[in-house]
Amino acid sequence: MNDVRSLKILVADDTDSDRLILETIVRKEGHNVFAAKNGLEAIAIFKQERPDIVLLDALMPELDGFDAARQIKHLAGDELVPIIFLTSLQDTESLVHCLDAGGDDFLSKPYNRVILKAKIKSFNRMRDLHNTMIRQRDELSQHHERLLQEQTVAKQVFDNVAHSGCLNASNVRYFLSSLAVFNGDVVVAGVRPNGNMMVLLGDFTGHGLPAAIGAMPLASTFYGMVHKGFSMSDVLREINKKLKSILPIGLFCCATMIDFNFRRKRIKVWNGGLPAGMIYHKNGNITPMRSSHLPLGVLPDKNFRDDAKFYDLDVGDRVFMWSDGIHEARNSEGEMFGEERLLQLFAENESCESAFDEILLGVKNFIGSGEQDDDLSMIEICMESPENLHHPGYSFNQQLARVEWEMRFEVKPTSFKSFDPLPFLLNILTEEPDLRGFSGSLYTILAELYSNALEHGVLGLSGDLKKTPEGFTEYYTLREKLLNEITTGFVHIYFAYSSSVEGGCLTLRIEDSGKGFDYASRQGKELQITGYSGRGIGIVEKLCKTVRYYDAGNKVEVVFAWVNDD
Amino acid sequence: MAITSTVSADGTQVTIYIQGRFDFSSHQEFRNAYEKLAKTPSRYRVDLQGTSYLDSSALGMLLLLRDHAGGERADIEIVNCSQDVKKILLISNFEQLFSIQ
C-alpha cells in the first residue's frame, strides 16, 4: 500500500480455476477485484464499476477478449484504462493481435505473481501520469477559452475607446487591420467646439495587449480635451505627459495629429515618429507631412516640443495618414513596400476618389502570399466646406462659438494678509481653453498689478526702498508689518473675457484704495535692465496689448489679446 | 515654496533649486541659500526646473544674487527654465546679465 494505493481491478477469465488464482493474487496485493466470466460480463461490470485496470483473457465465450478490449477502450474515452491480456498463446501473431485490439500488455499463463505485481504498479504509474496530463490539458483549454472570452469583451471596450469619435463622418475613410485581437494602432477623431476636427493616429511599439493598453489613456485624454476645445498643443502635451508617466521605457507611441480647420481650409500637423502622411492635392500634386518630433511618451513635459506645421488646402484635397504597417509590408521575397511604391500609386492614380482603395489594393497585391507582420492602418480625410460636412458633431454655429463673461472680485482688509488671490484667479482664467497656454504670462501680469495695487496703493510702500540689498529686505519686512496692521482699504479686480473662433481678449481692471501715482511721468520709459525693482509694469506692457492708468493712477486697465492660429 | 541648494564637493559651485512660484515670499530663503555658505563659491547655478511662475520681485532677487556674486564678474547660470519663465527673463533682457540655458 505504500507505493500502490488500492485499485479497482477487473479480472475476466472463463476458466474458473485461472480466474480464482488471479483474483487471489490481486486481492492479496490489497486491491478490489471484480470478476467476470466472459466479455459481455466484463463490459457490464466495466460500465458499472469503472475499474482502474482490466485483466482480460483473450479467448472467452459470448464475447472474446479482443472485442471486449475494443469496447472497453471506447467506453473509457479520454481516460487511460490499461488492459493486460491474459493468454497462453505464444505465437507472435496472436500477441500482436492483442495489442492491436487495444491491449496495453500481455501476461502469459501460468501467472507469475511477481511480474503481475510489477505490471500493475507500472500501469498504475502510467495511469496517474495520463490523468495528470488530461487534467492539465483541460485546465489549459479552460484558461484559453476564458482568455479568448475576456479578450473579446475587452476588444469591444477597446474598439469603443480607441476607434471612435467622428470617424464615421462623411469626409473620413479609414482602414485598420491587426495581427492580434488587439491592435497596436489607435485612431481617434473628435470635433472641437469651434468646428475644427482633430484626428490622431498612433502606433504603439509592439503588438497586442501591451500595445493596446496605452491606447486607453490616450483616447480618454483625447476625447476629454478635444470636446472642451483645448488646442492641439495642449492635447499633445497632456497625452505625452500621461504616456511618459505610465508606459515603461521602450514602450511609446509614434503619432500624427492633425487639426482640420474647415472654415479657413487649413490644417495644422504634428508628426512624431510616424511615416510622412501625404496631402493629395486635386491637381495631382503630393505634399508630404514628415515627422519632425520624437514620439509621444518619450520626453518629459519640459523638453516636449509641440510646434506644428500649417498647410493650406482646397476643397477636395485629401489628407492621408498611415502607420508604418504599409511601408513595412513585405512581399513573399521579404522586400518592403516602402514610400517609393506608395508615391508610385499616387502617380498612377487617375481619380482622387479612388486613391484610398487603390492604395489598399496595391499593398494587398504586393504582400501576396507574404506575411503581414505589422498592424496596418490608413485614414483619408477630405477637405470640405463646413456646410457639406455630415456628422452630428459638426452642428457648428458661429454664435455658439462665441464666449463672453465678466467677473468682479474684491480683496478686503481682513484678507490681505492671509489670502493670496493669484492662484485662485489664475485657476479660473485657465479654465478657458484659449487662455490655458498663456498661464505664465497671465500669472506675471496679475502678480505685477496686484502687488503694485497692494504694496504701493493700499500699503503706501515706496519702491525707492528697494534700491539697495538692505532696502530690498527692509521693503518686505515693512510689507509684512503693514499687512498685520492694516484695517482699511481694498483692491478691486475686474475681468472681462471675450473670445470667438478667431481669437479674443481679456480685459483686466484693478483699482486700489491708495493715493495713486504720477503715471504721466513714467510714460515712454524704457524697461530698465538694472535696479532691483521698477520693471514690473514694463513687463506687463510687453505682455499686453494696452496698459492704461486712470484717475489718480490708482486704477489700471490692461488688455491681453490673442489670435487663434488654428 | 521650497528653495533648496547644494554645494559641489570642493565648495566652488552652488546650485539653488526653486520649486513652485518664485516671488517675494521666498526672498529670505533665497538669500540664505547663497549668503550662509562656509566658502564663497565662484560659480552659481539657479535651477528653475520646478519653477512654475515668476514675477518682477523674483527678477530683483536674481539681481541681488548677481551683485552678491560680484556684479559684472559674477558667473551665474540660470538653467532648466520653462517656456513661460524664459519669456519673462527675455522680456527683461536678462540674457545680457545671466547665462540662460
Stretch A168-188: mean pLDDT, rounded? 78
- Strand, helix or coil at B50? coil
Residue A61's pLDDT is what? 83
Q: Which has the higher per-residue pLDDT, A94 or A260?
A: A260
Residue A2: pLDDT band (50, 70, 90) is: very low
Show residues of chain A in contact with B80, CB under 8 Å.
Answer: 302
Most A CBs within 10 Å: which of B23, B55, B72, as the mutation test of the A interface? B55
Residue type, A48: Q
Each residue's pLDDT tens digit, A475-484: 999 999 999 9
By percentage, how much of chain A surpasses pLDDT 70?
93
- 3-class DSSP state for residue A82? coil
What pLDDT is attached to residue A373?
63
- Chain A's closest residue to B56, CA to CA, is A536
Distance CA B70, CA A424 (A): 39
Residue B45 belongs to domain spanning: 2-100
Question: Rounded mean pLDDT of chain B?
Answer: 90
Beta bridge partners of A221: none
Quick check: A543 and B54 CB within 8 A? no
Q: Which of A46-50, A212-216, A520-524 has the lowest mean pLDDT?
A: A520-524
Nearest CA in chain B to A480: B25
Helix (H) / strand (E) containing A547: strand A546-550
Q: What is the pLDDT of residues A357-392, one digit of tens each?
A: 999 888 888 888 766 666 788 999 999 888 777 766
**What cell numbers appear for A156 in the block?**
469591444
Which DSSP category does A156 fall into?
Answer: H
Strand partners, A563: A503
- A466 against A401, higher pLDDT: A466
pLDDT of B27 over the 90 cut: no
Percent pLDDT > 70 in chain B is: 99
What is the structure's pLDDT at A1? 40
Of A237-241, A436-440, A521-525, the range with the lowest mean pLDDT is A521-525
For a pLDDT cut of 90, what percent of chain A falls above it? 42
DSSP conformation class of A455: I
* pLDDT band, very low/low/confident/very high, at A496 (cuts 50, 70, 90): very high
pLDDT score of A152: 82
Residue of A561, A560, A449 whose CA lies nearest to A511: A449
Confidence label for A160 from pLDDT (cuts 50, 70 and 90) = confident
User: What is the structure's pLDDT at A288?
Assistant: 93
What is the rounded average pLDDT of the residues B73-95?
91
Residue A417 has pLDDT above 90, yes or no: no
For chain B, give me the number of helices (H) and strands (E)? Answer: 3, 6
| Peptide bond connecting A295 to the previous residue in cis, omega within 30 degrees of 0 | no
Mean pLDDT on A334-356: 87
Residue with more model confidence, A185 or A75: A75
CA distance A408 to A200: 40
- Residue A132 backbone zone (phi > 0: left; psi -120 to 50: alpha; other: beta): alpha
The position carrying cell 458499472 is A48
Lowest-confidence region among A447-456, A541-550, B34-43: B34-43
- Measure Cα distances from A165 to A197, A220, A507 in Å: 10, 11, 36
Residue A174 has pLDDT above 50, yes or no: yes
Nearest neighbour of A440 by CB, restricted to B24, B53, B94: B53
Domain total in chain B: 1
Centroid of chain to Cα A252: 10
Whether the CB-CB separation of A269 and A257 falls below 8 Å is answered with yes
Query: Is the predicted pLDDT of residue A90 greater than 80, yes or no?
Result: no
Nearest to B24 among A441, A443, A476 (CB): A476
Highest mean pLDDT (candidates A158-162, A320-324, A531-535): A320-324
Domains of chain A: 8-134 (3.40.50.2300), 166-394 (3.60.40.10), 403-563 (3.30.565.10)
pLDDT score for A459? 92
Range name among A35-49, A241-255, A374-388 with the lowest pLDDT average: A374-388
State yes or no: pLDDT of A531 exceeds 60. Answer: yes
pLDDT score of A46: 93
CB contact under 8 Å between B97 and A529, yes or no, is yes
The CATH number of the domain holding residue B33 is: 3.30.750.24
> Between A3 and B69, where is the model more confident?
B69
Q: Pick the range with the lowest mean pLDDT from A68-77, A269-278, A525-534.
A: A525-534
Cell 503588438: give the residue.
A207
Q: How far is CA A419 from CA A2, A307, B20, in A?
A: 83, 38, 17
Determine whether the interchain pair A532/B63 forms a contact, defined as Cβ–Cβ distance below 8 Å: yes
Report, in this order, helix, strand and coil percent for chain B, each rounded to 5.
40, 30, 30
Task: For chain A, give the mean pLDDT.
Answer: 87
pLDDT at A396: 53
pLDDT level of residue A465 (50, 70, 90 thresholds): confident
Query: Per CB distance under 8 Å, which residues of A are interface residues toward B?
Result: 302, 439-441, 443-444, 447-448, 451, 466, 469, 472-473, 476, 479, 527, 529-533, 535-536, 538-539, 542-543
Q: How does pLDDT run across A316-344, given as a tens digit for each residue? A: 999 999 988 888 888 888 888 888 888 88
Chain B CA closest to residue A536: B56
**Residue B1 pLDDT level (bands cut at 50, 70, 90):** low
Comparing CB atoms, the residue among B56, B61, B82 nearest residue A448 is B56
**Quick check: A441 and B55 CB within 8 A?**
no
Q: Which residues of A touch B83 (CB under 8 A)?
A: 440
Report the range of poorest mean pLDDT among A106-115, A194-203, A390-399.
A390-399
* A307 burial level (CB within 10 Å; 0-12, 13-18, 19+): exposed
How confident is the model over A422-459, as pLDDT tens digits? 999 999 998 887 888 888 899 999 999 999 999 999 99
Higher-pLDDT residue of A321 and A178 is A321
Enter the ipTM. 0.88
pLDDT (mean) for A35-46 = 91
pLDDT (average), residues A493-522:
89
The number of residues in chain A equals 566
| Residue A189 clears pLDDT 60, i.e. is over it | yes
Per-residue model confidence (pLDDT) at position A156: 81
Average pLDDT over residues B63-79: 92
Q: What is the mean pLDDT of residues A188-205?
A: 88
Closest CB to B23 among A441, A447, A530:
A447
